[in-house]
Structure 1
C-alpha cells in the first residue's frame, strides 16, 4: 500500500477528518446512562409496559427473582403486566462501567408494592444491568437482573432508605 493511502486511512480512522463524529466521553456516556435509567423509572412508574419493553433490546433477557428468565420485548411487557401492575419503583445508580458501546450499571432499588389493605409496602433490593448503545444512540437494556435485599419471610419496610420520588 502506498504511504499516501495509508496516511489517509490512518487519519480517517482517528477521527480527524472533518465531518467525523467524535466518540462520547466517559462523562457523557455516564450522564446519558443516568438519564436512560431515569426514563426507564418514569416509564415503569406509569405502568406503560409496552413503552418499557421498547427500552430493552429486541432479544433482551430479564431475570426476575423466583421466576424463569424472560426473553424478548413482548415477553418482558407481558411479565411486567402480569406481576407488577400498580407497582412503582425508585432506582439509585451506584456504579457505571462503560466499555465501548456496552455498559454495566449496578444500583439499589425500592419497589413500592400495593397491598390488599389499600396500603403500600416497600421492597428494598438491588439490580445489575448490561446496556448496549443502539444505532440511534439510546442505551437499551440487554440483560437485567434484580432481587430483594430483604430476607425471605421478612415484612416489607415502610420507607425507602434512599431519597425516592415515587
Structure 2
C-alpha cells in the first residue's frame, strides 16, 4: 500500500506513464488508465473514457518533458490514492524553442485487479504568490517568476521549489495547458 513515506512507488507509476507517452505506445498508455478515466484539462471540456483519454495524449506532441513533485498523498482505503502536487511542463513552441510552464495537479489512482491505474486527473497553471502567471521561461534561461514546483530540466534558474526529475524527453500525466493543440501554450 502506498504511503506518504514511499515516493518511489509514485515515481514508478509516473515513469511508466511517461515511457508510454514518450514512445507513443498507445496500448501501454491505455493500460495506465481505468476504463472510465476522466481528464479535466484547463480551459477544455472534460475528457471521459479510456479511449478518449488516450486520444488526448496522442495529440500532445508538443510536450517534451514533465517533472512531478507530489506534495500530498493520501490513501483512501486500500485500493485508492489521492495525489496532489506541482508539475513543471516543458513544451516545444512553434519553432525549436522550449518553454517551461509551472502547474499544479491532483490525481486519483485506483487499484484494478491488483494494478494501480489513473482514474482521474485535473490540472491548472500555477500562479505566483499575489497573482501573476510566474513559473514560465525559456528552457536554459533564468527564472520564470516564482510560481510553483519543480525545477528546470536544463540550464539555470527554476520555476520554484525543488522538484524531482521524472524521466526525460517526453510528456507525462497532468501536463499543464501545454497539451492543447494549435496556438500558443497558454491556458
Give the structure-1-normalised TM-score: 0.72
Does 2:65 align with 1:85? no
Corresponding residue of 1:122? 100
- Specify the alignment match of 1:14 in structure 2: none
> Contact conserved, 2:102 with 2:135, CA < 8 A, in 1?
no
Q: Show the counterpart of 1:97.
A: 74
Q: Taking CA–CA contacts closer than 8 Å with sequence separation of 6 or more, which of the two structures ends up with the larger relative contact order?
A: 2
1:109 to 2:90 alignment: no
Q: Is the 8 A contact 2:37 2:48 kept in 1?
A: yes
Q: Distance in 2 between matches of 1:92 and 1:56?
A: 20
CA contact (8 A) 1:90 1:109 kept: yes
Residue pairs, 1:1-166, within 5 angstroms: 24=1, 26=3, 31-82=8-59, 84-87=60-63, 88-100=65-77, 101-135=79-113, 137-150=114-127, 156-159=136-139, 160=152, 161=159, 162-164=163-165, 165-166=167-168
Unaligned runs of 5+ in 1: 1-23
Distance 2:80 2:94 in 1: 41
Counterpart contact for 1:44–1:89, Cα < 8 Å: no
Deviations 1:23-57 (A, max 9, x none): x4747976433321232233333343442232010
> RMSD across aligned C-alpha pairs, in angstroms?
2.7
| Worse-superposed segment, 65-74 or 45-54 | 45-54
Spell out, residue by residue over 1:104-158, the C-alpha distance to the aligned partner (whole angstroms, 9 max, x if none): 00111111111112110011101100111111x2211111101111578779323
Give the whole-Å Cα distance in 2 for the aligned partners of 1:154 and 1:51. Answer: 34
Query: Per-residue CA shift, 1:39-84, capped at 9, x if unaligned?
Result: 22333333434422320101011100111110111101111222x1
Structure 2 unaligned residues grouped into runs of 5+: 140-151, 153-158, 169-187
More helix by share: 1
Larger Rg: 1
